[in-house]
Structure 1
Amino acid sequence: MKQVLPKADPERAIGNVFAAARGRLPGGGLVPQIRASAFEVYERTGLPHRGMEDWKYTDLRALIGGVLPLAPRPDAEALVRAKVSAERVSVDQAVKLVLVDGIFAPELSDLGRLKNQVVVRSLREVLENSAPGDMAGLLLSTTSDSAISLNAAMATDGLVITVVDGNAVKRPIQIVHVATGVSVSTFTRSYLQLGKGAHAAIVESFVSAERASGYQANDAIIALVGNEASLSHIRVAAAASDAVNISSAIIAVGAGAKLDLFSMTCGGSISRYQGFIKLAGEGTKVSANGVNLIRDELHADTTMVVDHAVPHCISREKFRAVIDDCGRSVFQGRIVVRPAAQKTDANLTTRALLLSDQAEADSKPELEILADDVTCGHGATSGALDNSLVFYLRARGLSEKDAKMLLIKAFVGESIEEITSENLRDFVTAQAEHWLQAGR
């Protein structure tokens, strides 16, 4: 069935949406000026469109038409529905931090379980009470990407998480984004700082509550991973089937540090996850992997830019997509090797599995190499299930559906297996299996 997305009416032009929301956006001092500057950056281009190379496959100007009004603060009834949805996606033993319609909900969160391992504050609290101008500028930093600039201008809340030097956070921290509204937009932004030698695992889950529909979510996370630190960042987006989800990650990784990044999209009419990773210190290792699970007429875009700025760093990217019906999956992966980044070792592979004749996979792996002593490679393939393997499994007693299911699970598992934590790997696997079962 054709998904019909709510489009902004002419009087809801983004300038009017921003003007109407300014009184509700947190922050004093220099913060309003920083927001206005970010909005000016956005206004130069407006919604991303096909004329922008990085957005050529996901033309938001054509797909959604405009930005919806900002969601109101969640009331008691919305919080009740959000609690049910947040519990449904809880990670075992994780510390849960819940954002409802773009606002941090401490009553649904587990702040007390963190003890002294980590400092967590809401973005709203930091901007309103304790952030000097330079801190506000960091939290609301913008880029040339118009979606991120719009997020900086409109962010209502988020989380500011600080892990001090040498501290290992024992439990995963799960940030649950719950949408409860209808035909509204939300903007959240979080900031994560890991000190030298610190270790943490962050899980982000995007879900919708009962009766939520037609909403637009724009989220960004900025992470600074200190020298010799280790960060696992897992993202699972299962938005409503008529919703829009745009998520951005901007991550800088220090010397001798390790980053494990994984993203899975299995819902939302229009979704895009974009990651900008800078290897800023020597001896850094990055593993960036992902899965798109798409059916009906849904559209999912994963775009990754891995920037090798210094020598002796390693990056690996492994992306898989399963597309059924008239779904469309996009993967754009760019590896940049700067002139000073000698001895770089980087590799990227993307594979798409098409389950119908109408399914579409667009892949664009890129290498931009400005150094001469490197080992770099990339590859992209797409195709249907191997009928000979289906026959092999059926000959051993499996039904055709079970045989295909087993092959799809193995295909997706190539990327999921890169998650180092067994607990988080099991969580992601369960989410993928739920999507597969729903399509049987």
Structure 2
Amino acid sequence: MKQAKARAKRATGDVFAAQLPGVAPVPEIRARAFEIYKSAGLPHRRMENWKYTDPRALIGEVLPLAPRPDADAIARAKVSAKQAAAHQAVKLVLVDGIFTPHLSHLGELENEIVVRSLREVVEDAATADLAGLVLLTTSNPAISLNAAMATDGLVITVPDGAALNPPIHIVHVATGCSVSTFTRSYLQLGKAAHAAVVESFVAAEGASGYQANDAIIALVGDEASLSHIRVAADACDAANISSAIVAVGAGAKLDFFSMTCSGSVSRYQGFITLAGEGAKLSANGVNLVRGKLHADTTIVVDHAVPYCTSREKFRAVVDDCGRSVFHGRIVVRPAARKTDAALTTRALLLSDQAEADNKPELEILADDVTCGHGATSGALDENLVFNLRARGLSEKDARMLLIKAFVGEAIEEIASKNLREFVTVRAEHWLRGGG
């Protein structure tokens, strides 16, 4: 424990000396966040929420902060950002944790939509209150470390009644080697506003062994709707720890989808509170795992008030010596009567060495609710493979078709046709052997 804390201090001690952006009260917020992190260090398996994913063992220590990208890094990032971009989306690019306007397309946004960089917000004394909301800190060590060390990110405000069309695509591009990046974004949707946001994590040519740490805070106003799609396709030896804290207002709807298909260690944790009566959540995800990738998706849904609905559907395909983790937790508060919640998780194991850990949980503290969960793991049904081969398909094509259908059960929950196709193309690339 002492050695781990010493590593935490050594890894982050130089960061504050490097003068992270922010005027008062931002330095004080960062210092408090760092103290929370320092008291625990990197998460470890003795923490219940990290039981199956031990960053202390898998990552070891936090790497030095990435320097500001130079001309060569930006040139390589431009290529990767273009390849990753979703069709008909407004592209906003972060290179090694720094917002890069000349690779982005801010001019395509509607006039009433406000987009600022995190650096701009924390360095402006007039937006001190907003900076405090953006750098929200919790007892979760990964989120606290992110608040302490975030170099940049995006602050997006959609006013009442506005519709964000086309969707925004935030592209995180890593160009460095053996460095860490920390980004923090904030999204606020006003009453009856509508938006779709895509996040992609990709590596430029030559990037390797990096650590990405990202967090997003989202407030979905009453009667608003948000679609949030996340795709992590990092370098094969990279680590990615990402977090989301979302509050959904009365009569509002959140459609969420996360897919991890590359990297060495990945942990996505989402904390979603249905905070207004009549709120609806559709949370879905896929882990596509091969090699020795360790991919963890943890989603906690908090039904805080009555008459809310949530549906979660998660799928994992695990090959080689990979490991997939899904931890889904639904909490129904004492006042949250008439809650309707369901969670299902299924894992497909393609090799004898593949591992899937599924942990669905219900914590029900109210009466008059409808809640359920289910979890299964297994191999491909050889009878189905035989039936497809009997109809003229090769064994490889038959297996590919069955895996695609299995993954598609979660992808089909994405409401937007364009975004559904964007995710499908990335999944098919993985199925063909890509990262």
TM over 0.5: yes
5 Å-filtered alignment, 1:3-152, equals 13-22=7-16, 23-152=18-147
- Indicate the residue corresponding to 1:194 in structure 2: 189
- From 270, 277, 281, the counterpart of 1:282: 277
- 2:287 aligned partner, one-letter code: N
Give SS of 2:267's match: strand
Ranges in structure 2 where 5+ consecutive residues have no aligned partner: none
In the TM superposition, what is the alpha-carbon distance from 1:229 to its structure 2 partner?
0.2
Determine if contact 2:4/2:42 at 8 Å carries over to the other structure: no
Q: TM-score, normalised by structure 1?
A: 0.96
Rounded Cα–Cα distance in structure 2 between residues aligned with 1:10 and 1:343: 45
In the TM superposition, what is the alpha-carbon distance from 1:19 to its structure 2 partner?
2.7
- Indicate the residue corresponding to 2:150 in structure 1: 155
Shift in CA distance, 10/329, structure 1 to aligned 2, threshold 3 Å: closer
Rounded Cα–Cα distance in structure 2 between residues aligned with 1:190 and 1:318: 26
Shift in CA distance, 19/439, structure 1 to aligned 2, threshold 3 Å: closer
Matched, 1:267 2:262: yes
5 Å-filtered alignment, 1:324-339, equals 324-339=319-334
Rounded Cα–Cα distance in structure 2 between residues aligned with 1:115 and 1:304: 32
Determine if contact 1:12/1:67 at 8 Å carries over to the other structure: no
Rounded Cα–Cα distance in structure 2 between residues aligned with 1:345 and 1:11: 43
Pairs aligned (count) = 432
Rounded Cα–Cα distance in structure 1 between residues aligned with 2:49 and 2:101: 37
- Indicate the residue corresponding to 2:347 in structure 1: 352
- Indicate the residue corresponding to 2:202 in structure 1: 207
- 2:379 aligned partner, one-letter code: A
Rounded Cα–Cα distance in structure 1 between residues aligned with 2:256 and 2:101: 27
In the TM superposition, what is the alpha-carbon distance from 1:89 to its structure 2 partner?
1.0
Rounded Cα–Cα distance in structure 2 between residues aligned with 1:125 and 1:304: 31
CA RMSD of aligned residues (A): 1.4
Determine if contact 1:117/1:169 at 8 Å carries over to the other structure: no
Q: TM-score, normalised by structure 2?
A: 0.98
Rounded Cα–Cα distance in structure 2 between residues aligned with 1:61 and 1:431: 30
- Indicate the residue corresponding to 1:231 in structure 2: 226
- 1:239 aligned partner, one-letter code: D
Rounded Cα–Cα distance in structure 2 between residues aligned with 1:11 and 1:391: 55
Give SS of 1:61's match: helix
Give SS of 1:44's match: helix
- From 422, 425, 434, the counterpart of 2:420: 425
- From 356, 363, 369, the counterpart of 2:364: 369
Percent identical across equivalent pairs?
77
Give SS of 1:24's match: coil
- 2:163 aligned partner, one-letter code: A
Ranges in structure 1 where 5+ consecutive residues have no aligned partner: 1-8
In the TM superposition, what is the alpha-carbon distance from 1:117 to its structure 2 partner?
4.0
Determine if contact 1:295/1:326 at 8 Å carries over to the other structure: yes
Give SS of 1:263's match: strand
- 1:422 aligned partner, one-letter code: K
Shift in CA distance, 407/117, structure 1 to aligned 2, threshold 3 Å: farther
Matched, 1:434 2:417: no
